[in-house]
Amino acid sequence: MNAAVATMTSAGNGPHRVDTEVLRAQDTELDLGARLLCVGARCMPLPAKEFELLFVLLAHAGQVVHREQLLAAGWTNPREVGKALEVYIPRLREKIETDPHHPTHIRTVCGIGYIFDREALGWAS
């Protein structure tokens, strides 16, 4: 897994202590336990399909993720697939990108798939 992974622990040592993993890329965080996307100070729950897609992209940040791999992460019924990525990737871009029509984080690799761009995040190569 290439994305920075942190373990967050809630304050206190009582029975309500919660440990959860977070995938973090600069100001973008995906809380795996709460299934929340936080971009800067703005946090929002993600629908299941968007969560699964973003999880795979962040887990493989800096690598091209093939369409088939993304589809396998979110869809088990081949009849649902169709143009699924063409619907869900723009939804994620709306939530993450400064300018969703000119994405710098989630980029399309024509004919292959998508990449969560490490350079756009300021990560070292």
pLDDT in tens, 16-44: 334 468 888 777 889 999 999 998 899 99
Task: Give the DSSP H/E element, type plus range, for residue 92.
Answer: helix 84-96
What pLDDT score does 23 carry?
Answer: 85
Determine the structural domain holding residue 110 and report its residue range. 4-121
Beta partners for residue 47, in sequence order:
none
106 with 113: CB under 8 angstroms? no
Is the predicted pLDDT of residue 13 greater than 80, yes or no?
A: no
At residue 22, φ and ψ (nearest 5 deg) are -130, 130
Q: What is the CATH number of the domain that holds 26?
A: 1.10.10.10
What pLDDT score does 40 carry?
Answer: 87
pLDDT in tens, 85-125: 999 999 999 999 999 999 999 999 999 999 998 665 554 44
Structural domains counted in the chain: 1
